[in-house]
Chains A and B, each alone.
Chain A
Amino acid sequence: GQSLEQPSEVTAVEGAIVQINCTYQTSGFYGLSWYQQHDGGAPTFLSYNGLDGLEETGRFSSFLSRSDSYGYLLLQELQMKDSASYFCAVRDSGGYQKVTFGTGTKLQVIP
């Protein structure tokens, strides 16, 4: 089976940097995706890591270490609008190819 673990809540100050971790256990692995979801809204894609290393997209960066089954999402220059839930997700490379989302991390940005 597959499981992904994330911290349930994180609080950070506006303008600061925050890191949201994701550890996974999968029977197969294609890569790690990150999604943002505001309350009452739909998830939106943020980034994807298929290979080890850092991917940067504006204020957001994502990192993957396949040997450690670990990844993180880094948010810089935090803004109030970044308050949302963040989910990591993996796709099984095995027969079922099911998609599994992490439990989600609720980020609260405070002034």
Chain B
Amino acid sequence: DSGVTQTPKHLITATGQRVTLRCSPRSGDLSVYWYQQSLDQGLQFLIQYYNGEERAKGNILERFSAQQFPDLHSELNLSSLELGDSALYFCASSASGTGKGVGYEQYFGPGTRLTVT
């Protein structure tokens, strides 16, 4: 158990809909990362938050947005869903701090499997 929690575990929805995925980081971790993993694909970095502020951005679609709240939990919002958005979405957290190497050791949650029909 990594200490990172994600809800829900599974989500089935229709095209055009909007969903929200939730993540709680490990106790004490200020950084939260979101990743997308399609079937038999690698991990695509979406976005990182650090203590409530956006810190880094990957190839995140404009239909997707995220935020980190004062209690450090994070939400990933996916809107106007398309069939291609079906994937496993992981949240990860890492130890606090800044500078070189921060975030090199990330703890991943169990993921949310999103199916768009």
For chains A and B in complex, what number of residue pairs have CB atoms within 8 angstroms? 67
Contacts of B103 in A (CB 8 A): 91, 99
Instruction: Give min CB distance, B94 to chain A, whole Å.
Output: 9
A17 vs B101: C-alpha distance when bound (angstroms): 29
A41 vs B45: C-alpha distance when bound (angstroms): 17
A96-B57, A100-B45 as given contacts; A45 in contact with B107, CB under 8 Å:
yes
A87 contacts chain B at the CB level, 8 A cutoff: yes
CB pair A101–B45 under 8 Å, yes or no, is yes
CB pair B111–A50 under 8 Å, yes or no, is no
Contacts of A43 in B (CB 8 A): 43, 90, 92, 106, 108
A25 contacts chain B at the CB level, 8 A cutoff: no
Of chain A, the residue at the smallest CB distance from B33 is: A99
Contacts of B101 in A (CB 8 A): 30-31, 48, 50, 91
B24 contacts chain A at the CB level, 8 A cutoff: no
Contacts of B43 in A (CB 8 A): 43, 87, 89, 101
Instruction: Give min CB distance, B101 to chain A, whole Å.
Output: 5
CB pair B45–A30 under 8 Å, yes or no, is no
CB pair B45–A42 under 8 Å, yes or no, is no
Residues of A within 8 A of B (CB): 30-31, 33, 35, 41-45, 48, 50, 87, 89, 91-93, 96-104
Q: List 19 A-B contacts (CB under 8 A).
A: A30-B104, A31-B100, A33-B106, A43-B43, A43-B90, A43-B106, A48-B105, A50-B100, A50-B104, A92-B56, A96-B56, A97-B55, A98-B45, A98-B48, A98-B57, A99-B45, A99-B56, A101-B43, A101-B45
